[in-house]
Amino acid sequence: MSIRFPYNYICVEGNIGTGKTTFSRMIAREFNCELILEEFRDNPFLPLFYQDRERYAFSVELFFMTERYKQLQNQLLSQDLFQDFTIADYSFVKSLLFAKNNLIEEEYRLFQNLWNVLNANFPKPDILVYFHRDVHVLKKLIDIRGREYEKLIEANYLKTIQDTYFDYFKNILTFPVVILDLNETDFVSDPKSYEAIKHILASKYLPGVHRVSLLV
């Protein structure tokens, strides 16, 4: 029996290196849906940020937010009527959460004001699925994909990002958030794992947080 997702707008979120983009691409290839991928490689401040976070944090986050805003405006607000749903490997709130983690208090207040204005233009996701992997697993996956500037990412930085997401999820009451525990699951080479994730996404959830372990 073919799977149908009961959601029009699916956001796949997670820490650095969790497999968000890979999974979103796999879904788009199978279902021919609208695909929104973050264009992080275009950020000229990102390699500099990992060398000197305090100096380049505001620049890197402001660039990310404006680029995400332009991309979501172009794709999310002009959906293809011939495609059943949209899947994105990020949500616009990612900008606010990373800024909260990376900016000093005065910069964050300014950033938050800008984000609130821009965010008013976008619909909330029908579901947000958060790919969760332990920090030591993330470090291994980041090393495997071999981006030079990511070699400077510390385990403690990954942990603070994770904690920022979890704090945010506690206050979500208007749409479902599914925290999916993956750890070392390789859904690319293991079709059963990929199918299991699809079936999890095909379920209907009430608004709020749901934590699910992948059992295959």
CATH hierarchy code of domain 9-213: 3.40.50.300
Which segments in the chain show pLDDT lower than 70?
1, 41, 79-82, 215-216
Q: Give residue 3's pLDDT.
A: 86
pTM of the model: 0.91
Nearest to 20 by CA among 161, 152, 149: 161
Strand partners, 24: none
Q: Give residue 14's pLDDT.
A: 96
**Structural domain spans, the chain:** 9-213
Nearest to 119 by CA among 66, 45, 166: 66
Q: Give residue 82's pLDDT.
A: 59
Question: What is the side-by-side order of every strand in the sheet holding 127-132?
Answer: 34-36, 86-88, 9-14, 127-132, 176-181, 208-213
Conformation bin of residue 80: beta by default, left when phi > 0, alpha when psi is -120 to 50: beta
d(CA 200, CA 182): 12
**Chain segment 42-78, per-residue pLDDT in tens:** 788 988 888 898 899 999 999 999 999 999 988 887 7
